[in-house]
Amino acid sequence: MQNREAYRVLGILGGLGPMATVYFYEMLTEHTKVTRDQDHIDMVISSRATTPDRTAFILGQSDENPLPVMVEEAGRLIRAGAEVIVLPCNTAHYFYDELSRQTGVPIINIITETVSYCAAQGWNKVGILATEGTVKSGAYHEVCRRAGIEAVAPSEAEQAVISDIIYGQIKKGLPVDYDRFFAVADSLRAQGCQTLILGCTELSLLKKSGKLDRYYTDSLAVLASVTIRACGKEPTGWEL
């Protein structure tokens, strides 16, 4: 994301889910180059955990639309001084255009920035590991198509495994079945994917565990790096 003048106050529209929001804040704090407290990014954080489930609404399994809650929380951030907003949830970007229209301040797009990062690496075929809502909405596939990148999703059975890891394990705070996760990952790798995008910020927590190598592109890390630069700071201490 290009900006001529750095944003002074960042708003994090979080709680989608809460642990991913905590990890994103940790990333920003740990990877901003500073020499004192005052060098860090000024930010305000909303963690509206009661926001209706995004995937359930997208798939038609619930009529509770999360958008009004997201708009309300964005307004709260703006009233608290936020000049730019980040949304550390890939699935919630299904509502990105309407949220941007109703909010009226810039919102950094995690999907666009992640695909841009992949394009900059010269990759032309990527795998998408995400919620069923993100996959079914085609959000990554459309942005990849515009960038000249082929996006590959897991099979229906493999997607069920990833969904269970996200909703049945990570969101519940239970141990992750890495054998099942890597079985899906190996299937996509065998199809020629040059990287696998962790397109759900709950899956970013697997990268944090240290069990995933650089073959995996963490959308949350990409968002953090872009956000740090958008706020006029320098990212440090990691390799995406």
* Active-site choice (118, 144, 193, 200): 200
- 231 in active site: no
- 200 in active site: yes
Positive or negative, the Cα torsion across 29, 32, 37, 40? negative
Provide the 10 A C-beta neighbour count for residue 106. Answer: 15
User: Concatenated DSSP letters for the chain?
Assistant: ---SS--SEEEEEE-SSHHHHHHHHHHHHHTB--SSGGGSPEEEEEE-TTSPPHHHHHTTS----SHHHHHHHHHHHHHTT-SEEE---SGGGGGHHHHHHHH-S-EE-HHHHHHHHHHHTT--EEEEE--HHHHHHTHHHHHHHHTT-EEEPPPHHHHHHHHIIIIIIITTTPPP-HHHHHHHHHHHHHTT-SEEEE-STTTHHHHHTT-S-TTEEEHHHHHHHHHHHHTT--B-S---
Positive or negative, the Cα torsion across 23, 180, 240, 226? negative
Annotated catalytic residues are 89, 200
